[in-house]
Structure 1
Amino acid sequence: MRVVSALFAACSLIATAGRAAAWGELGHRVTGLIAYRHLTPAARARVDAIMAADTDPLTPRDFAGRTNWADKYRSAHRETAAWHFADIEIDHPDLKAACYGFAPLAPGQLASQGPAQACVVAKIEQFTAELRSPSTSPNERLLALKFLIHFVGDLHQPLHAADHMDKGGNCIGLDPAPDGHAANLHAYWDTGAVGSLGGSAEAIAAELDDRTSPERVGTWSAGDPRAWAMETFKIAQRDAYALPTRPTCSDHGAKALTETYQAMAKRDVALQLEKAGVRMAALLNRALH
């Protein structure tokens, strides 16, 4: 992948230093398992065909395994780092500003080739358009699919759609770490709260999907990524930042999460994982019908 601008890449690297991977491997795999269940036969056949020739060793080659591919790829391609989130400020929410004005791709530019300054919402829109277009090359179609199934998950992690001058909660230290590992607020929502649902992605996905009614599927499948981003933002504003004080990166005091807060976070992440899986399938069903 080429970098559109060295300056953009440098800015992206600085702005995203320390960012965690939304949901962690467990959560992303859960979203993929749910989504695969909700694909139509036609969309599932096309997804399977697109992925059949993919020999990339970064992740397991099944659909759920590929939901973690974009995080692995990012490790060596930091120009894609900003694509995983939208820093919507909780005090002055402005999705357009968080998404660099939704600047369009240059004529003939592939979505996988930049620009570095783009948010998760814009990339979902771009990669969905590439999947839908019959003129997209097989290689770009594969990249579009692998990026898309990760970014839909990212979009539903509350601290990937909100910010308080704290790198999406990465600057908010936790003491004690609720699960013994998540030492900051962002990491807690990525992995700590998800881990409280269970240790097996297959078991979590089955439990969540069993409660997914047709009415929920219909409601959640409506709308678009911009609306979904603002929905996720409101959860972060209301719940993720429901702390005694709202620190920034200049405030280094660690916070303790109450049992009430942790129970609320567990409910939120369960619902968000469920929505992400359903919406991932909805986008693919529409693009690959």
Structure 2
Amino acid sequence: MNRTLFFLLTAALLIPAPAHAWGALGHRLVARLAYDQLTPQARAQIAELLSGEVEPTLAGIANWADDLRGNDPDLGKRTSRWHYVNIGSHDCVYEATRDCRKGDCVIEAIQRQSAVLADRSKPKAERLQALKFVVHFVGDVHQPLHASNTNDRGGNDFQVNYRGQGSNLHSVWDSGLLKSARLSEDAYLRHLQALPPPKEATQSLLPTAPAQWAEQSCKSVTQPGFYPARAKLDDSYYTRHRSIAEQRLREGGAHLAQLLNATLSGS
């Protein structure tokens, strides 16, 4: 192997993988918020699909799609583009033909997997996998940096420092903001449940809802101060933006419940 090729391969190994959305805690919170808003019919179908799982709850499967990177690398690679959509450079307006070629983005993935989940003629294993994808991807699309910019890979390439610890903006939004609250999962759930319900949450689910969720996430990124002026973050950044992250989690739970109720509550 020549030295140039060796250098390129070594450099490739050093490139960090894209960060997950919300981290384990955030995804579990979205799932638990959603479960409390499900109809009895939806709960019954979910219980049937989850029977036999190690943790047969929505929270128990909420991080399955991220865990594929270690548990099933081939499927993880094939579905890696399903976790996000890049619309930040287009004024946060989604166009499928431009922004989701071959259907490889979080918006189309939510719609496809919801259709599989709704089809009771499908094998249980296929519907269960679809449920796992839906629960995770609805969480993903509510993380602002999963619907933002290509040029910095959704904040992965935007380096920051907080209290002497180096990180990137994507990781701050995935887990740093939530961890800074220093709450247990149960305590955080109670805190989120006490927040005002999302204003736009309705009983009807429009076909364009996943695109709207992504556009709302993207618009959060465009707000002044989301991208800090300095790489060194202070406590005020965490305090100010944690409330935005919490509202997106609250909205994610409400929207996931809407989607699952619409998909699973029919006859």
Q: Assess if the C-alpha contact under 8 Å between 1:124 and 1:151 holds in 2.
A: yes
1:277 maps to 2:253: yes
Q: Assess if the C-alpha contact under 8 Å between 1:221 and 1:278 holds in 2.
A: no
TM-score, structure 1 normalization: 0.77
Q: 4+ residue stretches of structure 1 with deviation over 6 A?
A: none
Q: Return closer, same or farther for 1:205/1:164 CA change in 2, 3 Å cut-off.
A: same
Provide the residue aligned with 2:177 in structure 1: 193
Q: Assess if the C-alpha contact under 8 Å between 2:205 and 2:262 holds in 1.
A: no
Which one of the candidate residues 53, 69, 77 is aligned to 1:74? 69
Q: Assess if the C-alpha contact under 8 Å between 2:47 and 2:56 holds in 1.
A: no
Return the alpha-carbon distance in structure 1 between the equivalents of residues 77 and 125 of structure 2. 21
Provide the residue aligned with 1:141 in structure 2: 127
State the Cα distance separating 1:181 from its structure 2 match.
5.7
Q: Assess if the C-alpha contact under 8 Å between 1:34 and 1:206 holds in 2.
A: no
Q: Encode CA deviations 1:43-90: one digit per residue, 9 max, x unaligned.
A: 0011011110346xxxx4432121011100133221211111112234
Provide the residue aligned with 1:172 in structure 2: 158
Structure 1 runs not aligned, ≥5 long: 1-12, 105-117, 245-253
Return the alpha-carbon distance in structure 1 between the equivalents of residues 155 and 167 of structure 2. 11
TM-score, structure 2 normalization: 0.82
State the Cα distance separating 1:130 from its structure 2 match.
1.2
Q: Return closer, same or farther for 1:229/1:194 CA change in 2, 3 Å cut-off.
A: same
Q: 2:100 is matched by which residue type in structure 1?
A: C
**Among the aligned pairs, what percent are the same residue?**
33
Q: Return closer, same or farther for 1:146/1:203 CA change in 2, 3 Å cut-off.
A: same
Q: Assess if the C-alpha contact under 8 Å between 2:106 and 2:141 holds in 1.
A: yes
Return the alpha-carbon distance in structure 2 between the equivalents of residues 196 and 255 of structure 1. 18
Which one of the candidate residues 102, 119, 126 is aligned to 2:105? 119
Return the alpha-carbon distance in structure 2 between the equivalents of residues 69 and 172 of structure 1. 27
Q: Encode CA deviations 1:238-274: one digit per residue, 9 max, x unaligned.
A: 1574332xxxxxxxxx712244432221111110111
Return the alpha-carbon distance in structure 1 between the equivalents of residues 233 and 214 of structure 2. 25
Q: Return closer, same or farther for 1:237/1:165 CA change in 2, 3 Å cut-off.
A: same
State the Cα distance separating 1:203 from its structure 2 match.
1.3
Return the alpha-carbon distance in structure 1 between the equivalents of residues 223 and 252 of structure 2. 19
Q: Assess if the C-alpha contact under 8 Å between 1:130 and 1:144 holds in 2.
A: yes
What is the 5 A alignment of 1:147-158? Answer: 147-158=133-144
State the Cα distance separating 1:99 from its structure 2 match.
1.7
Return the alpha-carbon distance in structure 2 between the equivalents of residues 48 and 239 of structure 1. 43
Return the alpha-carbon distance in structure 1 between the equivalents of residues 199 and 93 of structure 2. 28
Return the alpha-carbon distance in structure 2 between the equivalents of residues 132 and 205 of structure 1. 28
Return the alpha-carbon distance in structure 1 between the equivalents of residues 219 and 99 of structure 2. 15
Return the alpha-carbon distance in structure 2 between the equivalents of residues 34 and 285 of structure 1. 13
Q: Return closer, same or farther for 1:191/1:44 CA change in 2, 3 Å cut-off.
A: same
What is the 5 A alignment of 1:255-270? Answer: 255-270=231-246
Q: Assess if the C-alpha contact under 8 Å between 2:201 and 2:255 holds in 1.
A: no
Structure 2 runs not aligned, ≥5 long: 1-11
Count of residue pairs the alignment pairs up: 245
